[in-house]
Structure 1
Amino acid sequence: MRGAPVNAVVLIDGPSGAGKSTLADALRLAWPGDRVPTLVRLDDIYPGWGGLDAASALLGDHVLRPRHKRRLAAWQRYDWVREQPAGWTPVPADLPLIVEGCGTLAAAHEPLSDIRVWIGADDALRKERALGRDGDVFREHWDQWQQQWEAYCARESPERSASIRLTAR
């Protein structure tokens, strides 16, 4: 990450099953120096299976904009079991930040970030990975999630705002 700002904001987006979480984990572990980045996963923020757009907005409103203005930033966890919002987690302003998840590369987030990564993947491969990871829970909601994803991509064109583009294999 040579040349990246000290408190760099890295956003990682792409379809379900493309490898966003794996990349975010590897990036966090390989980050140079002793300032380990904060990692925020949109999976912890989505307010239910219909919440892709809501989580993207929450990320901007509660994490990226406040942090950009050097104000207190935090994200609210969604309790998937109780199907309701849960506790808040602060986001330190003095550490690098990595955010991964479907919806991170919304157009409004571009000026609030330093590095924007897009991971693409073959539809069959990513569906196999996502359902292998999340099983029947995701299988039941796959079509609903895919419709939201396609609408988000059509509206936001997230791949175009990426400064780095990768393809999962």
Structure 2
Amino acid sequence: MSTLAAELRALPPTCGPVRLVAVDGHAGSGKTTFAARLAAALGGAPVVHLDDLATHSEFFGWTGRLREQVLVPLAAGRDAVHQVYDWTLRRFAGTATVPAAPVVLVEGVGAGRRELRPQLARVVWMELDAVSARRRGERRDGPELAGFWAGWARAEAAHFAADPSRPYAATRVDGVTGRIIPATVGESSTSS
């Protein structure tokens, strides 16, 4: 992890003074856990959780909120403040502050999407197939969210069919062990 952290710090800034790093993969693949470990290895790098910007009605409709509330301030070298969606109350309730740090992580399904890639220093992909990730997520969330998962799985499959992130990931991480897959760190990612 320290090798990846050092490599990310050495990348050129891509969003004003910030190196914006996406941690992407299927829901349940370990993105949040890995992002927390990577943030710690980076000395407490801020993490933007896309679950805070998505909503029940817009699973993938968060790009405008991310841009306006997070990317624009960070690009100007300012701390960002974004709204946080409450999945129980079904509305935005509260805010989170994202310091303009040397490296900022954005974690969530679709973090490496086409529209964001020009501002990303790196895309990290969690290698865990959709079926295994869904099983893990359903175990984590319990049977009361089974209906949510069914709708989510369809939306996620449609998203990745139209806008895959994995081909642009210069770093891939085993979604079971959390280990970086050899021969991925240092490969250049392709932009579109």
**TM bracket (short chain):** 0.7 to 0.9
1:1-169 → structure 2 map (5 Å cutoff) = 1-2=5-6, 3-5=10-12, 7-31=18-42, 35-48=43-56, 50-71=57-78, 73-169=80-176
Q: Which moved more, 1:100-109 or 1:6-15?
A: 6-15
1:56–1:103: 8 Å Cα contact kept in structure 2?
no
Q: Which moved more, 1:8-17 or 1:152-161?
A: 152-161
Per residue, is there more helix in 1 or in 2?
Answer: 1
Q: CA 1:156–1:65 in 2, change beyond 3 Å: closer, same or farther?
A: farther
What is the CA deviation profile of residues 107-138 of structure 1, one whole-angstrom value per residue up to 9, with x for unaligned ones? 11112121211113133321221011111243
1:66 Cα deviation from its structure 2 partner: 3.4
1:68 Cα deviation from its structure 2 partner: 2.3
TM-score, normalised via structure 1 length = 0.85
Unmatched runs of 5 consecutive residues or more in structure 2:
177-192
TM-score, normalised via structure 2 length = 0.76
Using the aligned pairs only, state the percent identity.
29
What is the CA deviation profile of residues 44-96 of structure 1, one whole-angstrom value per residue up to 9, with x for unaligned ones? 22212x42211244223321243224355222101222211112222211352
Q: Higher relative contact order at CA 8 Å, sep ≥6: structure 1 or structure 2?
A: 1
1:165 Cα deviation from its structure 2 partner: 2.3
Distance in 2, matches of 1:94 and 1:141, equals: 35
Q: Which moved more, 1:156-165 or 1:9-18?
A: 156-165
How many residues in Structure 1 have an aligned counterpart in Structure 2?
165
What is the CA deviation profile of residues 17-69 of structure 1, one whole-angstrom value per residue up to 9, with x for unaligned ones? 111011111111222xxx52111211222212x42211244223321243224
1:36–1:96: 8 Å Cα contact kept in structure 2?
no
Unmatched runs of 5 consecutive residues or more in structure 1:
none
